Amino acid sequence: MNPGDGDSLRLVVNAEGRRVDAAILQGREWIDSETVEGNSVENLAPALRAILARTKTKPADLHTWIYSGGPGSLLGLRSLAMLLATWEISNHANSISKYRYSGLVWTAREIQRTITDQPFLLISPWRTNAWNVLRVENHPATESALEVVEGDPAADIDLPAYVLGERLRAIPPAGSQTLSLPKIETLAHHIGEPGFLVETNTIEPLQSGTTEYKKWTPTLPAQ
Does pLDDT of 210 surpass 50?
no
Residues 90, 150 within the same domain: no
Do 166 and 191 reside in the same domain of the chain?
A: no
Residues 19 and 128 in one domain: no
Phi first, then psi, for residue 199 (nearest 5°) are -75, 135
Same domain (yes/no): 80, 118: no
Each residue's pLDDT tens digit, 177-198 = 888 889 999 999 999 899 999 8
**Beta carbons of 59 and 95 less than 8 angstroms apart:** no
User: Could you tell me if 161 and 62 lie in one domain?
Assistant: no
* CATH classification of the domain holding 74: 3.30.420.40
Structural domain boundaries enclosing 132: 103-180
Residue 2 lies in a domain: no
Are residues 31 and 126 part of one domain?
A: no
Residue 173 covered by a domain: yes
The reported pTM is: 0.81
* C-alpha neighbours within 13 Å on the C-beta side of residue 212: 15
Mean pLDDT of the chain: 79
Residue 116: inside a domain: yes
> 111 in a domain, yes or no?
yes
Q: Is the pLDDT of residue 209 over 50?
A: no
> Averaged over 201-220, what is the pLDDT?
49
Residue 37: which residues within 8 A CB-CB, separation 6 or more? 18, 19
* 222 lies in some domain: no
Note the pLDDT tens digit of each residue in 100-151: 998 889 999 999 999 998 899 888 877 767 778 888 887 888 888 888 777 7
Structural domain total, the chain? 2
Phi first, then psi, for residue 31 (nearest 5°) are -80, -40
Alpha carbons 77 and 40: distance in angstroms, whole number: 8
Q: Model confidence over 22-54: pLDDT tens digits? A: 999 988 889 999 999 887 778 888 999 999 999
Looking at the structure, do residues 109 and 95 belong to the same domain, yes or no?
Answer: no
For residue 218, being part of any structural domain is answered with no
pLDDT band at 2 (very low <50, low <70, confident <90, very high): low
Q: Are residues 115 and 82 in the same domain?
A: no
